[in-house]
Amino acid sequence: MKKKVLIVGGVAGGASSACRLRRLDEEAEIIMFERGADISFANCGLPYYVGGVIEQRKKLLVQTPKAMRSRFNIDVRTMSEVSKIFPAEKRVVIKNLLNDTSYEENYDYLVLSPGAQPALHDIPGINKGNVFVVRNVPDSDAIKQYIEINKPSAAAVVGAGYIGLEMAEMLKESGLKVTIVEAAEQIMGALDPDMAAIVQEYIQKHGIDIILSDKVVAMEGSDQVENIQLESGKSVSAQIVIMGAGVKPEVWLAKEAGLAIGTTGGILVDDYLQTSDPHIYAAGDAIQIKDFVTGDDSLVPLAGPANRQGWIVANNICGRKIKYTGSQGTSIVKIMDMVAGGTGQNEKQLKRKNIEYLVCHAHPFSHATYYPGSTQMTIKLLFTPKEGEILGAQVAGYSNVDKTIDVLATAIRADMTVYDLLELELAYAPPFSSAKSPPNMVGYVAANILDNSIDSVRWEEVMDLVEGGAFLIDTRMPNEVEKGSVPGAYNIPVDNLRERLDEIPEDKEICVFCQVGLRSYIANRILKQNGFKTRNISGGYKLYQSLKNCQVIN
Protein backbone atom coordinates (compact mmCIF):
# COMPACT_ATOMS: atom_id res chain seq x y z
CA MET A 1 0.00 0.00 0.00
CA LYS A 2 1.36 3.41 -0.98
CA LYS A 3 2.26 5.42 2.11
CA LYS A 4 2.25 9.20 2.56
CA VAL A 5 4.98 10.68 4.75
CA LEU A 6 5.15 14.31 5.84
CA ILE A 7 8.42 15.69 7.16
CA VAL A 8 8.64 18.85 9.28
CA GLY A 9 12.08 20.43 8.89
CA GLY A 10 14.39 20.33 5.89
CA VAL A 11 17.87 20.43 7.37
CA ALA A 12 19.94 17.57 8.85
CA GLY A 13 17.42 15.13 10.35
CA GLY A 14 14.57 15.96 7.98
CA ALA A 15 16.59 15.88 4.78
CA SER A 16 18.37 12.67 5.79
CA SER A 17 15.04 11.02 6.55
CA ALA A 18 13.50 12.16 3.25
CA CYS A 19 16.35 10.87 1.08
CA ARG A 20 16.56 7.54 2.88
CA LEU A 21 12.79 7.09 2.58
CA ARG A 22 12.97 7.50 -1.16
CA ARG A 23 15.86 5.06 -1.48
CA LEU A 24 13.80 2.47 0.38
CA ASP A 25 10.39 3.17 -1.17
CA GLU A 26 10.08 4.47 -4.72
CA GLU A 27 6.28 4.62 -4.49
CA ALA A 28 5.89 6.61 -1.26
CA GLU A 29 4.51 10.14 -1.38
CA ILE A 30 7.02 12.29 0.50
CA ILE A 31 6.40 15.95 1.30
CA MET A 32 8.98 17.97 3.21
CA PHE A 33 8.08 21.31 4.81
CA GLU A 34 10.69 23.94 5.65
CA ARG A 35 9.75 27.34 7.03
CA GLY A 36 12.93 28.93 5.72
CA ALA A 37 13.96 29.57 2.14
CA ASP A 38 16.72 26.93 2.16
CA ILE A 39 16.90 23.22 2.90
CA SER A 40 19.83 21.02 3.84
CA PHE A 41 22.12 23.99 4.47
CA ALA A 42 25.43 23.70 6.33
CA ASN A 43 24.57 25.49 9.58
CA CYS A 44 27.93 24.44 11.02
CA GLY A 45 29.56 26.50 8.26
CA LEU A 46 27.67 29.74 8.95
CA PRO A 47 30.41 31.44 11.02
CA TYR A 48 32.96 30.72 8.28
CA TYR A 49 30.69 32.29 5.69
CA VAL A 50 30.39 35.42 7.87
CA GLY A 51 34.18 35.58 8.16
CA GLY A 52 34.80 35.05 4.45
CA VAL A 53 36.54 31.69 4.81
CA ILE A 54 33.66 30.25 2.80
CA GLU A 55 33.44 32.86 0.06
CA GLN A 56 30.43 31.70 -1.92
CA ARG A 57 27.00 31.60 -0.29
CA LYS A 58 25.91 28.72 -2.51
CA LYS A 59 28.59 26.51 -0.95
CA LEU A 60 26.46 26.44 2.22
CA LEU A 61 23.57 24.88 0.34
CA VAL A 62 24.29 21.17 0.37
CA GLN A 63 21.03 20.44 -1.43
CA THR A 64 18.41 22.64 -3.10
CA PRO A 65 14.64 22.07 -3.39
CA LYS A 66 14.93 21.77 -7.17
CA ALA A 67 17.76 19.25 -7.00
CA MET A 68 15.99 17.20 -4.36
CA ARG A 69 12.83 17.10 -6.46
CA SER A 70 14.79 16.00 -9.52
CA ARG A 71 16.90 13.30 -7.90
CA PHE A 72 14.59 11.97 -5.20
CA ASN A 73 11.11 12.92 -6.41
CA ILE A 74 10.40 14.64 -3.09
CA ASP A 75 7.85 17.44 -2.87
CA VAL A 76 9.84 20.16 -1.10
CA ARG A 77 7.86 23.12 0.16
CA THR A 78 9.95 25.95 1.52
CA MET A 79 8.61 29.02 3.34
CA SER A 80 5.99 26.63 4.71
CA GLU A 81 5.45 26.24 8.44
CA VAL A 82 3.50 23.35 9.93
CA SER A 83 1.43 25.19 12.53
CA LYS A 84 -0.82 22.47 13.91
CA ILE A 85 -0.93 18.68 14.22
CA PHE A 86 -4.09 16.65 14.75
CA PRO A 87 -2.68 13.21 15.65
CA ALA A 88 -6.04 11.47 16.01
CA GLU A 89 -6.95 12.48 12.47
CA LYS A 90 -3.40 12.15 11.04
CA ARG A 91 -3.68 15.66 9.71
CA VAL A 92 -1.55 18.82 9.80
CA VAL A 93 -2.14 22.48 9.05
CA ILE A 94 0.49 24.28 6.99
CA LYS A 95 0.93 28.02 6.76
CA ASN A 96 2.36 29.43 3.53
CA LEU A 97 4.64 32.20 4.78
CA LEU A 98 4.77 33.87 1.37
CA ASN A 99 1.07 34.66 1.10
CA ASP A 100 -0.12 34.06 4.67
CA THR A 101 -2.61 31.37 3.65
CA SER A 102 -3.14 27.98 5.29
CA TYR A 103 -4.06 24.55 4.01
CA GLU A 104 -4.12 20.97 5.28
CA GLU A 105 -2.45 17.67 4.46
CA ASN A 106 -3.13 14.20 5.85
CA TYR A 107 -0.44 11.59 6.46
CA ASP A 108 0.27 7.97 7.19
CA TYR A 109 3.47 8.89 9.00
CA LEU A 110 4.78 12.21 10.26
CA VAL A 111 8.44 12.98 10.93
CA LEU A 112 9.29 15.90 13.22
CA SER A 113 12.73 17.46 12.82
CA PRO A 114 12.24 21.10 13.85
CA GLY A 115 15.73 21.46 15.33
CA ALA A 116 16.76 23.78 18.13
CA GLN A 117 16.34 27.50 18.64
CA PRO A 118 18.71 30.04 20.22
CA ALA A 119 18.38 30.16 24.00
CA LEU A 120 17.60 33.86 24.29
CA HIS A 121 16.80 35.59 27.56
CA ASP A 122 14.54 38.55 28.16
CA ILE A 123 17.30 41.16 28.16
CA PRO A 124 16.37 44.84 27.70
CA GLY A 125 17.59 45.94 24.26
CA ILE A 126 18.00 42.44 22.83
CA ASN A 127 15.70 43.29 19.91
CA LYS A 128 17.80 46.19 18.65
CA GLY A 129 18.92 46.14 15.03
CA ASN A 130 22.54 45.18 15.60
CA VAL A 131 21.87 42.12 17.79
CA PHE A 132 22.07 38.88 15.81
CA VAL A 133 21.72 35.11 16.20
CA VAL A 134 23.41 32.53 13.95
CA ARG A 135 20.83 29.90 13.06
CA ASN A 136 20.39 29.95 9.30
CA VAL A 137 21.77 31.41 6.07
CA PRO A 138 19.65 34.62 6.21
CA ASP A 139 21.05 35.26 9.71
CA SER A 140 24.56 35.05 8.27
CA ASP A 141 23.58 37.29 5.35
CA ALA A 142 22.31 39.90 7.80
CA ILE A 143 25.52 39.85 9.85
CA LYS A 144 27.74 40.13 6.76
CA GLN A 145 25.64 42.96 5.38
CA TYR A 146 25.65 44.85 8.65
CA ILE A 147 29.45 44.63 8.94
CA GLU A 148 29.97 45.70 5.31
CA ILE A 149 27.63 48.70 5.55
CA ASN A 150 28.17 49.91 9.12
CA LYS A 151 31.81 48.89 9.58
CA PRO A 152 31.62 48.35 13.37
CA SER A 153 34.89 48.52 15.27
CA ALA A 154 33.94 46.45 18.32
CA ALA A 155 31.86 43.30 18.76
CA ALA A 156 30.49 41.43 21.75
CA VAL A 157 29.78 37.71 21.59
CA VAL A 158 27.43 36.49 24.31
CA GLY A 159 28.22 32.86 25.03
CA ALA A 160 31.46 30.91 24.73
CA GLY A 161 30.26 27.65 23.21
CA TYR A 162 31.40 26.38 19.84
CA ILE A 163 29.36 28.82 17.72
CA GLY A 164 30.27 31.73 19.98
CA LEU A 165 33.99 30.98 19.74
CA GLU A 166 33.87 30.46 15.98
CA MET A 167 32.03 33.75 15.54
CA ALA A 168 34.53 35.51 17.81
CA GLU A 169 37.37 34.26 15.62
CA MET A 170 35.67 35.34 12.40
CA LEU A 171 34.89 38.81 13.77
CA LYS A 172 38.47 39.17 15.00
CA GLU A 173 39.79 38.14 11.59
CA SER A 174 37.48 40.78 10.07
CA GLY A 175 39.33 43.45 12.03
CA LEU A 176 36.94 44.00 14.96
CA LYS A 177 37.87 44.22 18.63
CA VAL A 178 36.07 41.25 20.16
CA THR A 179 34.89 40.61 23.71
CA ILE A 180 33.33 37.30 24.74
CA VAL A 181 30.91 37.39 27.67
CA GLU A 182 30.15 34.05 29.34
CA ALA A 183 27.90 33.54 32.36
CA ALA A 184 29.64 30.31 33.39
CA GLU A 185 33.03 30.07 35.10
CA GLN A 186 34.70 28.77 31.94
CA ILE A 187 34.48 28.79 28.17
CA MET A 188 33.43 25.67 26.23
CA GLY A 189 31.09 23.94 28.66
CA ALA A 190 31.62 20.61 26.88
CA LEU A 191 35.17 20.58 28.24
CA ASP A 192 36.31 20.45 31.84
CA PRO A 193 37.85 23.59 33.38
CA ASP A 194 41.43 22.31 33.11
CA MET A 195 41.10 21.68 29.37
CA ALA A 196 39.04 24.81 28.73
CA ALA A 197 41.83 26.82 30.39
CA ILE A 198 44.26 25.74 27.65
CA VAL A 199 41.92 27.11 24.98
CA GLN A 200 41.13 30.26 26.95
CA GLU A 201 44.81 31.07 27.44
CA TYR A 202 45.41 30.72 23.69
CA ILE A 203 42.42 32.89 22.74
CA GLN A 204 43.39 35.67 25.11
CA LYS A 205 46.98 35.65 23.87
CA HIS A 206 45.60 36.26 20.39
CA GLY A 207 43.76 39.42 21.31
CA ILE A 208 40.22 38.36 22.15
CA ASP A 209 38.97 39.51 25.55
CA ILE A 210 37.05 37.04 27.69
CA ILE A 211 34.78 37.90 30.62
CA LEU A 212 33.64 34.91 32.69
CA SER A 213 31.10 34.46 35.48
CA ASP A 214 29.15 37.52 34.37
CA LYS A 215 25.73 37.98 32.78
CA VAL A 216 24.37 40.54 30.33
CA VAL A 217 21.59 42.52 32.05
CA ALA A 218 20.97 45.25 29.47
CA MET A 219 21.94 46.37 25.97
CA GLU A 220 22.11 50.15 25.88
CA GLY A 221 21.69 52.49 22.95
CA SER A 222 18.92 54.17 20.99
CA ASP A 223 18.15 52.18 17.81
CA GLN A 224 21.42 50.26 17.98
CA VAL A 225 23.32 48.71 20.87
CA GLU A 226 26.31 50.81 21.88
CA ASN A 227 27.17 49.29 25.24
CA ILE A 228 26.42 46.06 27.06
CA GLN A 229 25.84 46.28 30.79
CA LEU A 230 26.87 43.29 32.88
CA GLU A 231 25.62 42.04 36.23
CA SER A 232 28.98 42.88 37.82
CA GLY A 233 28.63 46.53 36.83
CA LYS A 234 31.12 46.27 33.98
CA SER A 235 30.30 47.82 30.63
CA VAL A 236 31.41 46.50 27.22
CA SER A 237 31.44 48.75 24.19
CA ALA A 238 30.04 47.08 21.06
CA GLN A 239 28.53 48.12 17.75
CA ILE A 240 27.46 44.56 16.91
CA VAL A 241 26.32 41.78 19.25
CA ILE A 242 26.21 38.06 18.46
CA MET A 243 24.03 35.91 20.69
CA GLY A 244 25.71 32.54 20.98
CA ALA A 245 24.52 31.42 24.40
CA GLY A 246 23.46 27.94 23.40
CA VAL A 247 20.26 26.42 22.04
CA LYS A 248 17.16 24.68 23.31
CA PRO A 249 14.94 22.11 21.56
CA GLU A 250 12.03 23.57 19.61
CA VAL A 251 9.10 21.53 20.87
CA TRP A 252 6.07 23.84 20.78
CA LEU A 253 4.48 22.03 17.83
CA ALA A 254 4.89 18.61 19.45
CA LYS A 255 3.69 19.90 22.81
CA GLU A 256 0.54 21.46 21.34
CA ALA A 257 -0.17 18.16 19.60
CA GLY A 258 -0.10 16.39 22.96
CA LEU A 259 3.09 14.43 22.31
CA ALA A 260 5.13 13.49 25.37
CA ILE A 261 8.05 15.77 26.27
CA GLY A 262 11.03 14.31 28.13
CA THR A 263 12.62 15.47 31.37
CA THR A 264 15.34 17.32 29.45
CA GLY A 265 12.79 19.37 27.51
CA GLY A 266 13.19 17.44 24.27
CA ILE A 267 10.55 15.42 22.43
CA LEU A 268 10.31 12.00 24.06
CA VAL A 269 11.12 9.12 21.70
CA ASP A 270 11.69 5.39 22.18
CA ASP A 271 14.64 3.32 20.98
CA TYR A 272 13.19 3.41 17.46
CA LEU A 273 12.74 7.22 17.54
CA GLN A 274 8.98 6.87 17.71
CA THR A 275 7.14 9.50 19.74
CA SER A 276 4.22 8.81 22.08
CA ASP A 277 2.09 8.61 18.93
CA PRO A 278 2.87 5.45 16.90
CA HIS A 279 2.51 7.29 13.57
CA ILE A 280 4.82 10.17 14.49
CA TYR A 281 8.61 9.89 14.59
CA ALA A 282 11.15 12.56 15.53
CA ALA A 283 14.84 13.21 14.90
CA GLY A 284 17.51 15.85 15.38
CA ASP A 285 18.20 18.56 17.92
CA ALA A 286 14.62 18.62 19.24
CA ILE A 287 14.56 15.10 20.69
CA GLN A 288 15.60 13.60 23.99
CA ILE A 289 17.97 10.67 23.50
CA LYS A 290 20.05 8.31 25.61
CA ASP A 291 23.65 9.05 26.44
CA PHE A 292 25.70 6.20 24.99
CA VAL A 293 28.10 6.02 27.94
CA THR A 294 25.70 6.27 30.89
CA GLY A 295 22.27 5.56 29.40
CA ASP A 296 20.93 8.76 30.95
CA ASP A 297 18.47 11.06 29.18
CA SER A 298 20.28 13.72 27.20
CA LEU A 299 20.10 16.47 24.59
CA VAL A 300 22.81 16.37 21.91
CA PRO A 301 22.31 19.12 19.29
CA LEU A 302 24.92 17.94 16.79
CA ALA A 303 24.75 17.35 13.05
CA GLY A 304 26.21 13.83 13.05
CA PRO A 305 23.62 12.32 15.41
CA ALA A 306 20.79 14.22 13.65
CA ASN A 307 21.71 12.73 10.27
CA ARG A 308 21.96 9.23 11.75
CA GLN A 309 18.58 9.63 13.48
CA GLY A 310 16.89 10.75 10.26
CA TRP A 311 18.27 7.69 8.47
CA ILE A 312 17.01 5.39 11.25
CA VAL A 313 13.54 6.97 11.23
CA ALA A 314 13.19 6.25 7.51
CA ASN A 315 14.24 2.64 8.01
CA ASN A 316 11.70 2.14 10.78
CA ILE A 317 8.87 3.69 8.78
CA CYS A 318 9.69 1.25 5.99
CA GLY A 319 9.66 -1.75 8.32
CA ARG A 320 13.42 -2.19 8.76
CA LYS A 321 13.44 -2.02 12.55
CA ILE A 322 16.65 -0.35 13.72
CA LYS A 323 17.35 0.96 17.22
CA TYR A 324 19.13 4.22 17.91
CA THR A 325 21.83 3.33 20.42
CA GLY A 326 22.41 6.86 21.72
CA SER A 327 24.99 9.59 21.31
CA GLN A 328 28.29 10.22 23.04
CA GLY A 329 28.41 13.86 21.98
CA THR A 330 31.63 13.78 19.97
CA SER A 331 32.47 17.35 18.98
CA ILE A 332 35.35 19.54 17.83
CA VAL A 333 36.04 23.21 17.21
CA LYS A 334 38.83 25.21 15.58
CA ILE A 335 39.74 28.65 16.93
CA MET A 336 42.47 30.23 14.81
CA ASP A 337 45.21 27.58 14.87
CA MET A 338 44.03 25.75 17.98
CA VAL A 339 41.69 22.76 17.86
CA ALA A 340 39.77 21.35 20.83
CA GLY A 341 37.02 18.88 21.41
CA GLY A 342 35.89 15.80 23.20
CA THR A 343 33.78 12.69 23.30
CA GLY A 344 31.82 10.85 25.95
CA GLN A 345 31.34 12.13 29.48
CA ASN A 346 33.28 15.00 30.98
CA GLU A 347 34.32 15.20 34.60
CA LYS A 348 31.53 17.61 35.54
CA GLN A 349 28.90 15.21 34.23
CA LEU A 350 30.42 12.22 36.02
CA LYS A 351 30.45 14.12 39.31
CA ARG A 352 26.80 15.10 38.93
CA LYS A 353 25.89 11.47 38.33
CA ASN A 354 28.08 10.16 41.19
CA ILE A 355 29.99 7.90 38.82
CA GLU A 356 33.38 6.82 40.13
CA TYR A 357 36.26 7.61 37.76
CA LEU A 358 39.98 8.23 37.41
CA VAL A 359 41.73 10.94 35.38
CA CYS A 360 45.00 11.16 33.51
CA HIS A 361 46.62 13.69 31.20
CA ALA A 362 49.16 13.19 28.42
CA HIS A 363 50.97 15.66 26.15
CA PRO A 364 52.01 13.67 23.06
CA PHE A 365 53.20 15.25 19.84
CA SER A 366 51.13 15.22 16.68
CA HIS A 367 53.83 13.31 14.81
CA ALA A 368 57.50 12.38 15.17
CA THR A 369 59.37 15.36 16.62
CA TYR A 370 62.31 14.94 14.26
CA TYR A 371 60.01 15.54 11.29
CA PRO A 372 59.26 19.26 10.72
CA GLY A 373 55.99 20.76 11.93
CA SER A 374 55.34 18.61 14.97
CA THR A 375 53.10 20.22 17.61
CA GLN A 376 52.10 19.17 21.09
CA MET A 377 48.59 18.32 22.21
CA THR A 378 46.99 17.73 25.59
CA ILE A 379 44.77 14.69 26.12
CA LYS A 380 42.55 14.15 29.15
CA LEU A 381 41.17 10.65 29.63
CA LEU A 382 38.43 9.62 32.06
CA PHE A 383 38.08 5.93 32.91
CA THR A 384 36.67 3.55 35.51
CA PRO A 385 38.93 2.67 38.50
CA LYS A 386 38.67 -1.12 38.23
CA GLU A 387 38.22 -2.24 34.63
CA GLY A 388 39.64 0.87 32.96
CA GLU A 389 36.55 1.37 30.78
CA ILE A 390 36.83 4.62 28.87
CA LEU A 391 34.17 7.11 29.96
CA GLY A 392 35.28 10.20 28.08
CA ALA A 393 38.17 12.04 26.48
CA GLN A 394 39.10 15.63 25.67
CA VAL A 395 41.89 16.89 23.43
CA ALA A 396 43.38 20.33 22.76
CA GLY A 397 46.21 21.09 20.37
CA TYR A 398 47.02 22.17 16.83
CA SER A 399 47.28 19.20 14.48
CA ASN A 400 46.03 15.62 14.52
CA VAL A 401 43.56 16.56 17.25
CA ASP A 402 40.63 15.42 15.11
CA LYS A 403 42.29 12.08 14.41
CA THR A 404 42.98 11.53 18.10
CA ILE A 405 39.44 12.37 19.16
CA ASP A 406 38.02 10.11 16.45
CA VAL A 407 40.13 7.16 17.61
CA LEU A 408 39.09 7.69 21.23
CA ALA A 409 35.45 8.14 20.20
CA THR A 410 35.63 4.83 18.33
CA ALA A 411 37.18 3.20 21.40
CA ILE A 412 34.23 4.35 23.53
CA ARG A 413 31.71 3.13 20.96
CA ALA A 414 33.47 -0.27 20.91
CA ASP A 415 33.43 -0.52 24.75
CA MET A 416 37.21 -0.63 24.83
CA THR A 417 39.34 -0.19 27.95
CA VAL A 418 42.53 1.80 28.45
CA TYR A 419 44.43 -1.47 28.00
CA ASP A 420 42.90 -1.84 24.55
CA LEU A 421 44.37 1.55 23.62
CA LEU A 422 47.82 0.02 24.07
CA GLU A 423 46.96 -2.64 21.53
CA LEU A 424 45.75 -0.28 18.79
CA GLU A 425 47.92 -0.57 15.71
CA LEU A 426 47.52 2.81 14.03
CA ALA A 427 49.13 4.18 10.88
CA TYR A 428 52.64 5.48 11.46
CA ALA A 429 55.17 7.34 9.40
CA PRO A 430 57.12 10.38 10.64
CA PRO A 431 54.91 12.99 8.90
CA PHE A 432 51.72 11.52 10.38
CA SER A 433 52.24 10.16 13.88
CA SER A 434 54.75 8.52 16.20
CA ALA A 435 55.48 4.85 16.70
CA LYS A 436 53.45 5.23 19.87
CA SER A 437 50.47 7.23 18.68
CA PRO A 438 48.71 9.78 20.93
CA PRO A 439 45.91 7.28 21.77
CA ASN A 440 48.59 4.69 22.61
CA MET A 441 50.40 7.18 24.84
CA VAL A 442 47.38 8.18 26.90
CA GLY A 443 46.56 4.49 27.21
CA TYR A 444 49.98 3.82 28.70
CA VAL A 445 49.55 6.67 31.20
CA ALA A 446 46.13 5.39 32.27
CA ALA A 447 47.34 1.79 32.50
CA ASN A 448 50.24 2.86 34.75
CA ILE A 449 47.70 4.36 37.15
CA LEU A 450 45.47 1.27 37.14
CA ASP A 451 48.47 -1.06 37.61
CA ASN A 452 49.73 1.03 40.56
CA SER A 453 52.97 1.75 38.71
CA ILE A 454 52.37 5.34 39.75
CA ASP A 455 50.00 7.20 42.05
CA SER A 456 48.54 10.22 40.29
CA VAL A 457 47.49 13.56 41.76
CA ARG A 458 45.80 16.65 40.25
CA TRP A 459 47.18 20.19 40.40
CA GLU A 460 43.91 21.18 42.08
CA GLU A 461 44.95 18.95 45.01
CA VAL A 462 48.70 19.61 45.12
CA MET A 463 48.77 22.89 47.04
CA ASP A 464 46.68 21.42 49.85
CA LEU A 465 49.08 18.49 50.04
CA VAL A 466 52.10 20.82 50.15
CA GLU A 467 50.48 22.87 52.91
CA GLY A 468 49.98 19.59 54.76
CA GLY A 469 53.69 18.79 54.54
CA ALA A 470 54.20 17.14 51.14
CA PHE A 471 57.53 17.72 49.36
CA LEU A 472 57.31 19.13 45.81
CA ILE A 473 59.98 18.19 43.25
CA ASP A 474 60.50 19.75 39.81
CA THR A 475 62.46 17.25 37.68
CA ARG A 476 63.11 19.58 34.74
CA MET A 477 66.49 21.02 33.78
CA PRO A 478 67.69 24.22 35.53
CA ASN A 479 67.35 26.29 32.34
CA GLU A 480 63.69 25.29 32.17
CA VAL A 481 63.14 26.16 35.82
CA GLU A 482 64.62 29.62 35.25
CA LYS A 483 61.74 30.36 32.88
CA GLY A 484 59.20 29.57 35.58
CA SER A 485 58.28 26.98 38.16
CA VAL A 486 55.83 26.28 40.96
CA PRO A 487 56.42 28.20 44.22
CA GLY A 488 58.13 25.99 46.79
CA ALA A 489 59.25 23.32 44.31
CA TYR A 490 62.69 21.74 44.82
CA ASN A 491 64.60 21.22 41.58
CA ILE A 492 66.31 17.88 40.97
CA PRO A 493 66.66 17.01 37.27
CA VAL A 494 65.53 13.46 36.61
CA ASP A 495 68.95 12.46 35.26
CA ASN A 496 70.55 13.43 38.59
CA LEU A 497 67.88 11.93 40.81
CA ARG A 498 69.56 8.67 41.76
CA GLU A 499 72.71 10.44 43.02
CA ARG A 500 70.68 13.02 44.99
CA LEU A 501 68.21 10.78 46.82
CA ASP A 502 69.69 11.88 50.16
CA GLU A 503 68.27 15.38 49.56
CA ILE A 504 64.71 14.05 49.63
CA PRO A 505 62.93 13.63 52.98
CA GLU A 506 61.95 10.03 53.63
CA ASP A 507 59.16 10.90 56.05
CA LYS A 508 57.12 13.04 53.65
CA GLU A 509 54.87 12.38 50.71
CA ILE A 510 56.65 13.38 47.49
CA CYS A 511 54.78 15.12 44.64
CA VAL A 512 56.72 15.18 41.37
CA PHE A 513 56.26 17.09 38.12
CA CYS A 514 58.15 17.91 34.94
CA GLN A 515 57.05 19.77 31.81
CA VAL A 516 54.50 17.27 30.53
CA GLY A 517 54.70 14.15 32.72
CA LEU A 518 57.21 11.78 31.11
CA ARG A 519 60.28 12.68 33.19
CA SER A 520 58.22 12.86 36.37
CA TYR A 521 56.88 9.36 35.62
CA ILE A 522 60.46 8.07 35.39
CA ALA A 523 61.29 9.92 38.61
CA ASN A 524 58.29 8.35 40.32
CA ARG A 525 59.42 4.87 39.35
CA ILE A 526 62.92 5.57 40.71
CA LEU A 527 61.59 7.01 43.96
CA LYS A 528 58.96 4.33 44.50
CA GLN A 529 61.51 1.54 44.10
CA ASN A 530 63.75 3.31 46.61
CA GLY A 531 61.07 3.28 49.27
CA PHE A 532 59.63 6.78 48.91
CA LYS A 533 55.91 7.49 49.02
CA THR A 534 55.52 9.43 45.79
CA ARG A 535 52.81 10.79 43.48
CA ASN A 536 53.00 11.99 39.90
CA ILE A 537 51.27 15.32 39.14
CA SER A 538 49.00 14.84 36.15
CA GLY A 539 49.57 17.20 33.23
CA GLY A 540 52.95 18.59 34.34
CA TYR A 541 54.05 22.22 34.39
CA LYS A 542 52.46 22.79 30.97
CA LEU A 543 48.99 22.26 32.43
CA TYR A 544 49.88 24.16 35.61
CA GLN A 545 50.64 27.29 33.58
CA SER A 546 47.26 27.25 31.85
CA LEU A 547 45.38 26.60 35.09
CA LYS A 548 47.27 29.40 36.84
CA ASN A 549 46.90 31.92 34.03
CA CYS A 550 43.15 31.29 33.82
CA GLN A 551 42.77 31.28 37.62
CA VAL A 552 41.47 27.73 37.76
CA ILE A 553 43.97 27.25 40.60
CA ASN A 554 45.38 29.98 42.88
Nearest-angstrom CA–CA distance, 275 and 340: 35
* Residues 373, 375, 378: CA angle, nearest 5 degrees: 165
Residue 550 among the catalytic residues: no
3-state DSSP of 458-516: CHHHHHHHHHCCCEEEECCCHHHHHCCCCCCCEECCHHHCHHHHHHCCCCCCEEEECCC
Nearest-angstrom CA–CA distance, 539 and 458: 8
Residue 307 contacts residue 40 (beta carbons within 8 Å): no
Nearest-angstrom CA–CA distance, 419 and 509: 29
Of the candidates 44, 511, 514, 550, the residue annotated as catalytic is 44
* 415 torsion bin: left (phi>0), alpha (psi -120 to 50), beta (else): left
Residue 535 contacts residue 509 (beta carbons within 8 Å): yes
Where are the alpha helices (H) located in 291-392, listed in sequence order? 303-317, 347-352
Nearest-angstrom CA–CA distance, 15 and 469: 62
State how far the alpha carbon of 168 is from the alpha carbons of 108, 143, 164, 229, in Å: 45, 13, 6, 19
Residue 395 contacts residue 404 (beta carbons within 8 Å): yes
Name residue 338's beta-bridge partners.
335
Catalytic residues: 44
